[in-house]
């Protein structure tokens, strides 16, 4: 095959590889974002559970017959 034909094929193969690499990078970033959102949601759920527990303890202390206002 003439050199110019090989250069065209190699150039085309490089373009395909670059496109595949870009697609793989986008996919990897997407998976990372999903993982981070999952972790963030887990931390938020834990925080909300702790806050709910604190609120419940606060309500119980105010509804107690020993509380000055209760």
pLDDT tens string 6-61: 555 667 778 888 999 999 999 999 988 888 888 888 888 899 999 999 999 998 88
Cβ neighbours of 69 (radius 10 Å): 6
Helix and strand element counts for the chain (H, E): 1, 0
Are 62 and 69 in contact, with CB atoms under 8 Å apart?
A: yes
Cβ neighbours of 51 (radius 10 Å): 10
What's the confidence (pLDDT) of residue 10? 66
- Beta strands (DSSP E) in 1-70 are none
What's the confidence (pLDDT) of residue 62? 83
What's the confidence (pLDDT) of residue 35? 86
For 16, the token pair is 């395909």
């Amino acid at each position: 095959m003439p050199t110019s034909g090989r250069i065209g094929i190699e150039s085309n193969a490089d373009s395909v590889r670059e496109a595949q690499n870009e697609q793989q990078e986008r996919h990897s970033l997407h998976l990372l974002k999903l993982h981070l959102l999952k972790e963030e949601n887990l931390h938020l759920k834990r925080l909300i559970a702790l806050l709910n527990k604190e609120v419940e303890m606060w309500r119980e202390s105010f509804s107690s017959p020993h509380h000055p206002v209760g």
